[in-house]
Amino acid sequence: MVKILIIYTGGTIGMINDTKTGALIPFDFEQIEQNVPELSRLNYQLSVHSFSPILDSSNMNPEIWAELALLITDKYDSFDGFVVLHGSDTMAFTASALSFMLQNLAKPIILTGSQLPIGEIRTDAKENLITALEIAATKINGKAQVPEVCIYFDYQLFRGNRAIKYNSEKFEAFQSPNYPILAEAGVHLNFFSNYILPSSIESLKTHINFNSNIGVLKMYPGISKQAVQAVMKSEVDAIILETFGAGNTSTTAWFLQELKDAAQHKIIVNISQCKAGSVQLGLYETSKELQRMGVISGYDMTFEAAVTKLMYLMGLGISVNEIKKLMEISICGELTSF
């Protein structure tokens, strides 16, 4: 019998109405089959671990990611797959973080949640949960069909470090702008094997030391010198620069000087504000100067992937040059280099 560990961190999916007050309260996931009786028909051996206290996903941080990664590592040999129930607001950050924390995966780690509580009549929670469990349990020739960290939401399976939350009101809350979906749930579960990472034959490696000392500067027309300096002169180790289009910024002399000064002692990663497409440093004159001063390309990484990858690399204790090199190389399918 397939063994799946359900890890409930918090989020809308685990809420039901209190019959006395009408307020939303978390239900006890140890009695999950009482609330979702359909689970008994899956014929899986389900175990549940609930975080205590449960968390609003807005309070997620690297320490909690480490706790989650260590829990999965501890239980890794005892289960065939893992389903992490998580609030949707920061789910893409957690999925990206886990993809760097847990390397050489041979088992699926599927994050899911819902836009409506599990106790609501029109909830999307039951379908998301049931299908996430099915995906986590699916094997081909004895090996996991999807041996990577993923997000399942509204009939689609996304690579975790390629997904973004783009809508707070639709059931279709997530997209993967720069990478195809890994599976689609219709009448049948259709997996797109060409896009799925292969199962590793090496031992699981867990990395939990993240350095979150990162600043973010988002470009906009008319940005002031004071706004730029507030980030460039701050005591951070790295800066994510969200630029226009294919990686372009202002070529104003004062701006380039601030960037040049910062690039001498900080790691600066250029990602595009556009959800789809890639940074191509040097394609236009406005980004050639960035390339010359040592700004590195984030290619088509999501903001979530760029942040968590930087945290991961800076936590390894390697040199700045090695971090810069690895930021431009795909580690676990998070970017497409050109």
Active site residues: 12
Structure tokens at 12: 């809308």
In the chain, what are the helix, strand and coil shares in percent, each to the nearest 5?
35, 20, 45
CA gap 269, 247 in Å, rounded? 10
Structure tokens at 306: 């760029």
Phi/psi at 164 (nearest 5 deg)?
-135, 150
The H or E element that residue 307 is part of is: helix 303-314
CA–CA distances in Å: residue 289 to residues 168, 259, 281: 38, 10, 9
Contact 139, 187 (CB under 8 A): no
* Three-class DSSP labels, 135-163: HHHCEECCEECCCCEEEEECCEEEEHHHC
User: Which of 148, 237, 155 lies closest to 196 in space, CA to CA?
Assistant: 148
The H or E element that residue 183 is part of is: strand 183-185
Q: Is 183 exposed, middle or buried (0-12, 13-18, 19+ CB in 10 A)?
A: buried
